């Protein structure tokens, strides 16, 4: 093994963790990937399946008083909150709101865009290697609007973003949208068709394909308890089903569970989760590409199991009892929108959590106070999009290679 190439443990087998394991393996490291479940069965399974090349602007905390009033009074379906969780969440949400002020948000978005711009190329590399092209569609997705005022405002902003970042963007009026999606029965004001993104009809399957490639190339996958991580000699040890696994370095890629582990190790990073729900419906209207019903806060994503409705953010404790109010609203609004919604596939909605930071940027690179401990989490809504990008970046840092993206805006030390 070449200098700086050694054994590494990766904790978490979602898109971020599997991509990190592949990138480390590609650079000559001996990698063990550990998760309590099979790859791609948690957060990475439940998203809308879009590799969002256009997502150069992370989701900011709303600062419009009208929007905040609608959320606070329960009128908005974009966000919902559990009142009992707000005392614990309030300090972090306040910092999130603070970071979203225009002057502070601009450099955050500039740094974020340096990662997003590589998303398609990074995925294309592994899609080709894993022979997973049959899972991918290259037709983009749509943001649709019901009201003319909201559509006109969004279209102007989309054109500006597309011009600045060289993105493919087609603004479609009501007639063009109706022709593109004949299954819409409710007249819409229009849509923004982002043409660069790729979409996946089963995001969990794509993660599983990447994981299969990792194992075929000699990587080890083990079921284990990430929370058992502990220093062991000059390295680290974690309990797995067949006994302890040890390595010189460990990468924490646990998504919404990263906060629990890093707190055990003495870190107090400003992390929080946004919960979200989805459900599939079969036998109903088929959409050509995924479509966001923007003013109702619901994504309609064609999947192999049927049409997947995914909801906006729910602010609650990670382990709180499911309260799928947003999904119930989404069902009603989508039934108004489509010729036929179809019948639910699952008996109960799926519930997952998005791992977030107060400044909207992921936490990447070395842990400030532990040798051989590395972070790769906090991707919020874009873990599926950014997994191969941040996986490569962290792998380069672990191996002492020159990073292809400046990591300084994403280091955990920014919170010290």
Q: Which of 1, 2, 24 is nearest to 10 (CA)?
A: 24
Residue with tokens 């998760």: 35
Residue 6: its pLDDT value, please? 80
For 124-137, the DSSP string reads: HHHHHHTT-GGGEE
pLDDT tens digits, one per residue of 172-225: 999 999 999 999 999 999 999 999 999 999 999 999 999 999 999 999 999 999
Confidence of residue 43 (pLDDT cuts 50, 70, 90): confident
Residue 77, pLDDT above cutoff 50: yes
* Secondary structure of residue 20 in the 3-state scheme: helix
| Average pLDDT value for residue range 30-55 | 95
In a domain, 19, yes or no: yes
Q: Identify whether 40 is part of a domain.
A: yes
What's the whole-model pTM score? 0.96
Q: What is the CATH number of the domain that holds 35?
A: 3.50.50.60
Residues 375-381 have a mean pLDDT of 97
Whether the per-residue pLDDT at 134 is higher than 50: the answer is yes
pLDDT, averaged across the chain: 96
pLDDT at 1: 40
In a domain, 395, yes or no: yes
Residue 164 lies in a domain: no
The torsion defined by the Cα of 413, 6, 395 and 39, in degrees rounded to 10, comes to -110
Q: Is residue 233 part of a domain?
A: yes
Share of the chain above pLDDT 90, in %: 94
- Cβ neighbors of 314 (< 8 A, separation 6 or more) are 79, 80, 81, 82, 274, 275, 276, 277, 323, 326
pLDDT at 3 over 50: no
Beta-bridged to residue 73, according to DSSP, are none
Sign, Cα dihedral of 247, 14, 169, 277: negative
Please provide the DSSP assignment of 222-259 as one string.
Answer: EEEEEEEEEEETTEEEEEETTEEEEESEEEE--GGGHH
**96 found inside a domain:** no
For residue 50, how many other CB atoms are within 10 A of its CB?
26
pLDDT tier, 2 (very low <50, low <70, confident <90, very high otherwise): very low
Rounded Cα–Cα distance for residues 210 and 57 (Å): 27
Nearest to 33 by CA among 54, 12, 15: 12
Domain presence at residue 41: yes
CA distance 25 to 395: 9
Separation of CA 156 from chain center: 26
User: Which two tokens mark 100?
Assistant: 């979203």
- How many domains, the chain? 1
CB-based contacts of 312, cutoff 8 Å, min separation 6: 77, 78, 79, 80, 276, 297, 298, 326
Q: How confident is the model at residue 4 (pLDDT cuts 50, 70, 90)?
A: low
* Percentage above 70 pLDDT, the chain: 99
Residue range 146-171: mean pLDDT, rounded: 98
Residues linked to residue 142 through DSSP beta bridges, in sequence order: 193, 291
Residue 306 falls in which region: left (phi positive, over 0), alpha (psi -120 to 50) or beta = left
Closest to 302 measured CA to CA, from 278, 330, 327, 325: 278
DSSP string over 270-339: -EEEEEEEEEEEESSPPPSS-EEEGGGTEEEEEETTEEEEEE-EEES-TTSPP-THHHHHHHHHHHHHBS
d(CA 234, CA 217): 27
Range of the domain at 248: 7-46+204-270+358-415
pLDDT band for position 158 (50/70/90)? very high
In a domain, 217, yes or no: yes
pLDDT tens by residue, 400-409: 999 999 999 9
Average pLDDT over every residue of 301-309? 97
Residues 113-134, mean pLDDT to the nearest whole number: 98
Range with lowest mean pLDDT among 38-42, 195-199, 366-370:
38-42
Closest alpha carbon to 18 in 158, 100, 130? 130
């Amino acid at each position: 093994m070449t200098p700086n190439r050694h054994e590494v443990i990766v904790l978490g087998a979602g898109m971020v963790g599997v991509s990190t394991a592949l990138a480390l393996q590609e650079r000559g490291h001996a990698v063990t990937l550990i998760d309590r479940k099979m790859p791609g069965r948690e957060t990475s399974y439940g998203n809308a399946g879009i590799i969002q090349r256009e997502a150069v602007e992370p989701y900011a905390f709303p600062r419009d008083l009208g929007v905040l009033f609608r959320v606070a009074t329960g009128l908005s379906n974009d966000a919902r909150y559990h009142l009992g969780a707000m005392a614990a969440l309030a300090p972090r949400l306040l910092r999130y709101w603070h970071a979203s002020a225009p002057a502070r948000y601009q450099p955050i978005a500039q740094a974020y865009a340096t990662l997003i711009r590589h998303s398609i190329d990074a995925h294309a590399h592994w899609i080709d290697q894993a022979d997973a092209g049959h899972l991918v569609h290259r037709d983009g997705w749509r943001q649709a609007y019901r009201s003319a005022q909201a559509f006109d405002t969004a279209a102007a902003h989309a054109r500006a973003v597309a011009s600045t970042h060289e993105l493919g963007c087609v603004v479609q009026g009501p007639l063009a949208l109706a022709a593109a999606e004949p299954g819409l029965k409710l007249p819409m004001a229009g849509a923004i068709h982002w043409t660069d993104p790729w979409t996946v009809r089963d995001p969990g399957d794509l993660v599983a394909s990447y994981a299969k490639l990792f194992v075929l190339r000699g990587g080890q996958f083990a079921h284990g308890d990430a929370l058992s991580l502990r220093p062991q000699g000059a390295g680290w040890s974690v309990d797995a089903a067949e006994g302890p696994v040890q390595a010189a370095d460990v990468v924490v890629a646990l998504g919404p569970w990263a906060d629990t582990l890093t707190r055990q190790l003495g870190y107090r990073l400003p992390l929080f989760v946004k919960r979200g729900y989805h459900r599939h419906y079969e036998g109903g209207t088929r959409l050509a590409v995924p479509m966001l019903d923007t003013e109702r806060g619901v994504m309609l994503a064609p999947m192999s199991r049927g049409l997947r409705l995914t909801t906006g953010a729910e602010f609650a404790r990670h382990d709180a009892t499911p309260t799928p109010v947003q999904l119930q609203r989404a069902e009603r609004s989508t039934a108004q929108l489509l010729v036929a919604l179809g019948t639910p596939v699952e008996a109960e909605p799926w519930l997952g959590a998005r791992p977030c930071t107060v400044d909207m940027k992921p936490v990447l690179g070395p842990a400030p106070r532990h040798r051989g401990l590395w972070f790769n989490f906090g991707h919020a809504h874009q873990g599926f999009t950014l997994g191969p990008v941040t996986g490569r970046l962290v792998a380069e840092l672990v191996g002492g290679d020159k990073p292809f993206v400046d990591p300084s805006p994403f280091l955990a030390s920014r919170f010290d």
